[in-house]
């Protein structure tokens, strides 16, 4: 199949007034310059409010012709040709249209959104070709097929009912979207959704479509046209340009004595042995767990094979085969000595994200804690060589997993497992966790914190300085700190920062003068240059533009910053020292049985 990119833009009243429509059109206009696939690449575009607007992009027209679909209960495609056309034929026409859409709808007073109907109509247009549907959304889908009303208040009635019912709010509102998503997957259509909102949009329901089609959800809340437009563009540019494939099928095989137990990630599964991926890219991870159902001989080997059949953006059909052979051992000490902390934690994270959808949060937190305790208990019982007198007084940790309790505590205190917070934030966190690469799993829950105010004294040759523990003990009132988790970055400013540092970093002389709609600029001084170098290097490492947010002591943004300092005691959990004591006591209790 050729590379097909179809753009679907929200032009409802709120999207226009908050700048989402203009930012989306601008991002598309810039990003299409890098569309891959060569002369076979095809594009299409539609917009929507309470109706759906397709555009005829054929170049013989003086300007694109708008075709309106008013029936959002029984949607259809107004034309079978000329809606999706070769990019080389319509480049200028599409650029002109993207410049005009914000003007055409600038006085739009229609508040309703027919998002689900618009997605179905767009996919009907794409059915003959397959491809990638890129959706820009701002408000809750309120009219047409698959529409729904706000459910967030149900989980906010009171703490006790919120705790019991929260898992229901993390499930799709009904089966309509799942059925539709399976159809999209069969048509080899991948859906990516860019949500730029000011209010609740029910991500739990909407994300079913990207999850089933191998797509992705991007979330900008609360959206600011000033500070978030650059991230929206860069996210779209990377989404389009990164290494990727389409119409893929993947199968994992293993040696006798093992069997595949479960796949976790974004895909469609119609047969027991294979998973279907209408889209696959370099940022997505599929986790596979295995069940051990037979004995292995000491020194024998277990073999694993992953085969992925896919089509490149240039239309080449390829197969990628990855083989792995591991030696079997009955010596548990060898297992702990060679343990991979990042991989083990990635399993904890993804299984927890799956569990949140079906179990109450206290049960999920308890399960995560017990996984950590049982792992360390096994090491203490079967591998530790410390004398019995020393064992009773200290927590014995294997060298490779010495940070496992810290990351377990970070997971328990994460957005996904906290009792407070918005349902949409938790839904998005779950969606990210299920597809995140192993390298990004730990930063998601245990961000990187760097002191900015003393960068001028940093050694030359180091782009990113050493990081600080996530504890308020390391945050001073005269400092500036950068905290990033791979997706967002918070810049915290204390109340007593030196005037010269403020001038060098922000171009102002007082903390109060720093605008809340913060944009990082580079000034002509060493400190500002080093800060910009750090941010750019992190963006390169993470393949994410990083959404920068300013946090000040004494206001809600400062509270947000301190909520990430997971080594401190908080209303939502123990301090790191208290958690270590708890883990130690639980291990002791198990040893005494």
Q: What was the pLDDT predicted at 40?
A: 93
336 lies in some domain: no
Residue given tokens 């064992």 in the structure block? 391
Q: Are 138 and 113 in contact (CB under 8 A)?
A: yes
Q: At 246, phi and psi to the nearest 5?
A: -135, 175
Do residues 518 and 397 share a domain? Answer: no
CA 107 to chain centroid, in Å, comes to: 34
The DSSP line for 274-304 is EEEEEEEETT---EEEEEE-S---TT-EEEE
DSSP state at residue 457: G
Residue given tokens 């004595």 in the structure block? 257
Beta-strand pair 274-281/287-292: unpaired
Do residues 155 and 228 share a domain? Answer: yes
Instruction: Specify the CATH number for the domain of residue 208.
Output: 3.40.50.410
Three-class secondary structure assignment of 343-410: HHHHHHHHHHHHHHCCCCHHHHHHHHHHHHHHHHHHHHHHCCCCCHHHHCCCCCCCHHHCCHHHHHHH
Do residues 471 and 498 share a domain? Answer: yes
Residue given tokens 């694993």 in the structure block? 304
Q: 570 in helix, strand or coil?
A: strand
Q: Are 564 and 447 in contact (CB under 8 A)?
A: yes
**How long is the chain?**
593
**Percent helix / strand / coil, the chain, rounded to 5:** 40, 20, 35
Residue 452 contacts by C-beta under 8 Å, 6 or more apart in sequence?
A: 479, 480, 481, 482, 491, 505, 527, 531
Do residues 156 and 41 share a domain? Answer: yes
Question: Would you state the structure tokens that stand for residue 130, as one six-digit string?
Answer: 């397959």
Three-class secondary structure assignment of 472-510: HHHCCCCCEEEEECCCEEEEEECCCCCHHHHHHHHCCCC
Do residues 588 and 557 share a domain? Answer: no
Do residues 286 and 412 share a domain? Answer: no
Domain span at 348? 342-421+572-592
Count the alpha carbons within 13 Å of 167 in the hemisphere toward its beta carbon: 15
Q: What was the pLDDT predicted at 524?
A: 92
335 lies in some domain: no
427 lies in some domain: no
155 lies in some domain: yes
Instruction: Specify the CATH number for the domain of residue 293.
Output: 2.60.40.1670
* CA dist list (Å): 79 to 21, 57, 531: 25, 11, 52
How far apart (Å, rounded) are the C-alpha atoms in residues 374 and 380? 10
Query: Residue 354 burial (CB < 10 Å; 0-12/13-18/19+)?
Result: middle
Beta bridge partner(s), residue 254: 304
Residue ending a domain, choose from 308, 329, 350? 329
Residue ending a domain, choose from 210, 241, 272? 241
Q: What was the pLDDT predicted at 157?
A: 37
Do residues 300 and 369 share a domain? Answer: no
Residue given tokens 């309509």 in the structure block? 176
Instruction: Specify the CATH number for the domain of residue 407.
Output: 1.20.120.730
pLDDT along the chain (593 residues), means of 10: 96 97 98 91 97 87 86 90 91 93 96 96 96 97 90 51 63 92 97 96 95 96 92 96 96 93 93 93 94 85 96 95 93 91 96 93 95 94 67 79 96 92 92 94 96 80 86 94 93 93 92 85 91 93 90 88 94 91 93 81
Count the alpha carbons within 13 Å of 101 in the hemisphere toward its beta carbon: 34
Residue 277 contacts by C-beta under 8 Å, 6 or more apart in sequence?
A: 214, 248, 249, 250, 267, 268, 310
Do residues 389 and 474 share a domain? Answer: no
Q: What was the pLDDT predicted at 389?
A: 44
Question: Taking the alpha carbons of 375, 380, 382, 383 in that order, is the dihedral positive or negative?
Answer: positive
How far apart (Å, rounded) are the C-alpha atoms in residues 522 and 499? 17
Biggest CA–CA distance in the chain, Å, is 87
Q: Are 27 and 45 in contact (CB under 8 A)?
A: no
Do residues 578 and 499 share a domain? Answer: no
70 lies in some domain: yes
Q: What was the pLDDT predicted at 344?
A: 94
Q: What was the pLDDT predicted at 18?
A: 96
21 lies in some domain: yes
Of 295, 289, 302, 303, which Cα lies nearest the Cα of 330?
A: 295
Question: Would you state the structure tokens that stand for residue 543, as one six-digit string?
Answer: 């393949």
Do residues 347 and 375 share a domain? Answer: yes
Domain count, the chain: 4
Do residues 205 and 277 share a domain? Answer: no
Instruction: Specify the CATH number for the domain of residue 517.
Output: 3.40.20.10
Q: 192 in helix, strand or coil?
A: strand
Do residues 371 and 299 share a domain? Answer: no
Residue ending a domain, choose from 241, 258, 291? 241
Of 276, 135, 286, which Cα lies nearest the Cα of 206?
A: 135
484 lies in some domain: yes
Beta-strand pair 488-493/480-484: antiparallel
């Amino acid at each position: 199949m050729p590379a097909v990119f179809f753009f679907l833009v929200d032009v409802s009243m709120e999207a226009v007034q908050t700048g989402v429509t203009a930012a989306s059109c601008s991002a598309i206009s810039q990003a299409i310059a890098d569309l891959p696939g060569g002369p076979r690449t095809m594009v299409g575009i539609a917009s929507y409010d309470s109706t759906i607007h397709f555009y005829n992009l054929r170049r013989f027209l003086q300007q694109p012709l708008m075709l309106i679909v008013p029936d959002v209960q029984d949607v259809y495609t107004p034309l079978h040709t000329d809606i999706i056309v070769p990019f080389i034929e319509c480049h200028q026409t599409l650029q002109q249209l993207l410049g005009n859409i914000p003007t055409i709808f600038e006085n739009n007073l229609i508040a309703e959104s027919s998002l689900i109907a618009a997605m179905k109509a767009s996919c009907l247009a794409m059915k003959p070709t397959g491809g990638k549907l890129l959706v820009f959304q701002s408000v809750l889908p309120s009219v047409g097929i698959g529409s729904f009303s706000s459910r967030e208040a149900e989980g906010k009635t009171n703490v006790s009912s919120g705790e019991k019912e929260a898992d229901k709010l993390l499930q799709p509102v009904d089966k309509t979207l799942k059925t539709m998503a399976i159809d999209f997957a069969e048509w080899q259509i991948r859906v990516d959704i860019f949500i730029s909102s000011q209010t609740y949009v029910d991500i739990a329901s909407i994300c079913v479509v990207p999850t089933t089609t191998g797509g992705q959800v991007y979330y900008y809340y609360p959206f600011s046209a000033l500070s978030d437009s650059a991230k929206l563009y860069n996210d779209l540019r990377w989404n389009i340009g990164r290494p990727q494939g389409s119409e893929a099928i993947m199968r994992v095989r293993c040696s006798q004595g093992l069997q595949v137990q479960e796949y976790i990630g974004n895909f469609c599964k119609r047969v027991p042995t294979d998973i279907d991926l209408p889209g696959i890219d370099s940022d997505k991870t599929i986790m596979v767990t295995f069940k051990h159902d037979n004995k292995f001989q000491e020194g024998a080997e277990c073999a694993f094979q992953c085969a992925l059949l896919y089509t490149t953006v240039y239309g080449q059909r390829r197969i990628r085969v990855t083989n792995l052979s591991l030696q079997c051992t009955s010596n548990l000490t060898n297992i702990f000595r060679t343990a991979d902390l990042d991989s083990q934690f990635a399993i904890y994270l993804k299984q927890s994200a799956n569990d949140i959808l079906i179990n109450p949060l206290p049960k999920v937190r308890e399960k995560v804690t017990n996984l950590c305790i049982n792992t360390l208990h096994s090491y203490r019982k079967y591998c530790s060589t410390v004398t019995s007198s020393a064992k009773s007084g200290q927590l014995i940790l294997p060298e490779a997993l010495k940070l496992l309790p810290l990351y377990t505590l970070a997971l328990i205190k994460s957005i996904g497992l906290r009792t407070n917070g918005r349902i949409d934030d938790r839904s998005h966190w779950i969606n990210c966790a299920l597809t995140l690469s192993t390298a990004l799993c730990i930063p998601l829950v245990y961000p990187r914190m760097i002191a900015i105010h003393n960068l001028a004294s940093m050694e030359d040759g180091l782009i990113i300085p050493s990081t600080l523990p996530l504890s308020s003990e390391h945050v001073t009132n005269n400092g500036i700190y950068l905290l990033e988790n791979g997706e967002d970055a918070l810049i915290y400013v204390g109340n007593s920062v030196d005037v010269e540092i403020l001038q060098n970093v922000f171009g102002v002389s007082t903390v109060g003068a720093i605008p809340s709609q913060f944009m990082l600029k580079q000034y002509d001084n060493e400190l500002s240059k080093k800060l910009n170098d750090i941010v750019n290097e992190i963006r390169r490492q993470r393949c994410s533009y990083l959404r920068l947010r300013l946090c000040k002591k004494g206001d809600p943004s400062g509270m947000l910053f301190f909520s990430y300092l997971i080594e401190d005691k908080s209303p939502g959990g123990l301090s790191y020292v208290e958690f270590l004591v708890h883990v130690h006591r639980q291990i002791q209790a198990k040893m005494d049985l």
